[in-house]
Amino acid sequence: MVSRIEFSVNGRKTVFSGNPLTRLIDVLREDLSLTGVKEGCGEGECGACSVIKDGRLVTSCIIPVGAVNGSEILTIEGIRDTDKGRCLVDAFAEGGAVQCGFCIPGMVMAAYALLSSNPNPSEEDIRRGISGNICRCTGYDLIVESIKLAVRKGGDLWA
């Protein structure tokens, strides 16, 4: 069945025509070439495909595109040129958060969602905020430190 679904991605209006059960991640990666959105587990467990839907972090691999009609989707590509996005990306680079990098777009989106709702998180809040994002390289500590760095450097940006 073909449905017409209208939504916005990184501020740009998008119209999807096709099977409404198509996974949001496939629309983002294949149709819109937003390949910063990574597929890890494909089951909503690893967080690599995390995007922000209407202000809330979600895993795009288990959301059918038919469920995003009228929604605003934000991907790593949509935040990297904003002040908040740059702050996070710079902090991740400076803090040495990145090894293989596959989990990082999802990590940055999770950190973005966290700091946007909690500008001054405790370490526990940070670990909880990225608890749905799995990294097989770093052991998480440098990612947590980098998010703390983004909090310090960003200051009012997150308030």
Partner 1 sequence: MGMTYIPSTLSEALHLRAETGARPLAGGTDMMVQSKRGIGLAPEFPYPVMIISGLEELRGITKHEDGSVEIGALASPAEIAASDIVPWHVRMAAAGMGAVALRNSATIGGNIGNASPKGDLPQPLILLDADVILVSLRGETKMKLDDFILGSKKTALKDDEIIRSVIIPPHEFTYSFYRKIGMRRANAISKLSLSAAAVVRDGEILDFRAASGASGPKVIRSYSAEAIIRGRRVEDIPEVLDGFLEAWNAAISPHAMPQYRRNTTRRMLSHFLSSIHDGAEAGIIS
Residues that bind partner 1 (CB under 8 A): 1, 3, 5, 19-23, 26, 30, 39, 42-45, 47, 50, 53, 56-59, 61-64, 66-67, 69-70, 110, 113-114, 128-129, 131-133
Dihedral (CA of 8, 14, 18, 22) sign:
negative
Report the residue number, 49 or 151, with the smaller CB distance to partner 1: 49
Least separation in angstroms between CB 69 and partner 1: 6
Report the residue number, 113 or 150, with the smaller CB distance to partner 1: 113
Other CB atoms within 10 A of residue 41 CB: 14
Report the residue number, 28 or 151, with the smaller CB distance to partner 1: 28
Least separation in angstroms between CB 133 and partner 1: 8
Residue with tokens 């959301």: 63
Report the residue number, 96 or 109, with the smaller CB distance to partner 1: 109
4-14 b/e (C-beta count within 10 Å ≥ 16 → b): ebebebbeeeb
Report the residue number, 119 or 132, with the smaller CB distance to partner 1: 132
Instruction: Give me the DSSP letters along 9-35.
Output: ETTEEEEEEE-TTSBHHHIIIIIS--T
| Pair 76, 36: CB distance under 8 Å | yes
